[in-house]
Amino acid sequence: MIDLKGKKIILASKSPRRASLLSDMDIPFEIKVREVDESYPDTLPPEEVAEYIAKQKAKAFDDLKENEIAIFSDTVVVNQSDVLGKPKDFEEAKTMLQGLSGNSHTVYSAVCIKTSTQEVSFTDRTLVTFLPMSEEVLNYYINEKQPFDKAGAYGIQEWIGMTMIQKIEGSYFTVMGLPTAILYQKLNQILKEDN
């Protein structure tokens, strides 16, 4: 449905979920990833962290060709004012999930779209509410699903999302890691302006 007008889309992400979402949007792309320091200043407000990191990732691609459009993304889970990244191990995953249990938290997914001449970035947020989770549920989920590559130690599309999330306010896809509707609009806008 999207007319790329001869442009090539690059998804600069190792995330299988982002690749799957972009694929489901019928957007052809190739994956190119460059290692980037994903640390951020301690003074940065939690709601700005994801966009800051997405822009850092974009800086590593200063050699884009005229016909290339690169998509960078980052997702953070914010519980109260704590930014939850990817857990290092079982214990950290459990601590994160115990904090989310029976509470609401915010997921911020940011995207930076870059061409050889311009850069556009945005952040979308979704409020997620978990049911109270027992020790048994947490142990089962972490052992079975190994959520160590996911911010906040959970994937909404997995077992825990299906069984333990009470409600969400906002986009489901933002929680998965890519605000698809806004991305689609922005890509179309960039392609129109480029002609």
Active-site residue identified among 74, 82, 124, 194 = 74
55 backbone dihedrals φ, ψ, rounded to 5°: -70, -35
Q: Residue 71, class by beta-carbon neighbours within 10 Å (0-12 exposed, 13-18 middle, 19+ buried)?
A: buried
Q: In this structure, is the dihedral angle defined by the CA atoms of residues 176, 131, 99 and 148, taken in order, positive or negative?
A: negative
Nearest partner of 180 among 40, 24, 62, judged by Cα: 24
- Residues near 30 by beta carbon (within 8 Å), at least 6 away in sequence: 8, 9, 10, 11
The reply to whether 26 belongs to the active site is: no
Q: Which residues participate in catalysis according to the annotation?
A: 74
